[in-house]
Chains A and B, each alone.
Chain A
Amino acid sequence: GEDVEQSLFLSVREGDSSVINCTYTDSSSTYLYWYKQEPGAGLQLLTYIFSNMDMKQDQRLTVLLNKKDKHLSLRIADTQTGDSAIYFCAEILNTDKLIFGTGTRLQVFP
């Protein structure tokens, strides 16, 4: 199967941490990605993780991968109002197809 699922909404207070979760079904995925989409714009790659890693940190972003449970998460430390956007996880299959999740809308309030 090629399903990638995410919760639709997340609301956090400015300065708190945000955790966006994603589950995928295809165990052959080699890379998993997080993209950010700001209003009226295309998608921008935030970070990625190779499937043989379980954690990757990139400044305020931490990606955790639980390959056994096929669960991916993105933690944003010290969330700012500029982080308000839709976040998509995506997996790449052997066919080079990129399969996107449904997207999580992150709302940051002061």
Chain B
Amino acid sequence: NAGVTQTPKFQVLKTGQSMTLQCAQDMNHEYMSWYRQDPGMGLRLIHYSVGAGITDQGEVPNGYNVSRSTTEDFPLRLLSAAPSQTSVYFCASNKAGRGTDTQYFGPGTRLTVL
């Protein structure tokens, strides 16, 4: 299993550009999430999905869109990039439900918006 994969690893955008961060998992997990990590602020949940066709907002959803057309893929779209979106983005997946189920994280995408 490749686990959770993210592409690209690094990206530089100009203000106003759009792009899609890709996330895929091959563990047949139902639950997938996107976080952003900023210094001194830990990880903040952007959007999450509890299964194909179902998405919901996290703490900081503004400026981001997601879709979940398959179990494997959960892309994150930046509609019009802003410097405040400069961050490291992590995708994670786990089996549905609460509890001891481990959340597996991808290696991250470091995004800089100029």
Query: Could you list which residues of chain A lie within 8 angstroms of chain B, going by C-beta atoms?
Result: 4, 6, 8, 30-31, 40-45, 48, 50, 88, 92, 94, 96-103
Contact = CB atoms under 8 A, between A and B. Distances in A.
Interface residues of B, number: 25
Nearest to B96: A96
Given A42-B90, A96-B31, A88 B107 contact: no
B34 interface: no
Nearest to B35: A100
B42 A103 contact: yes
8 contacts: A4-B42, A8-B40, A42-B92, A42-B107, A43-B103, A44-B105, A98-B103, A100-B42
A102 B100 contact: no
B41 interface: yes
B109 to A, nearest CB: 11
A96 B50 contact: yes
4 tightest Cβ-Cβ pairs between the two chains A and B: A42-B105, A100-B43, A100-B42, A102-B42
A31 to B, nearest CB: 6
Contacts of B42: 4, 6, 88, 100-103
B41 A102 contact: yes
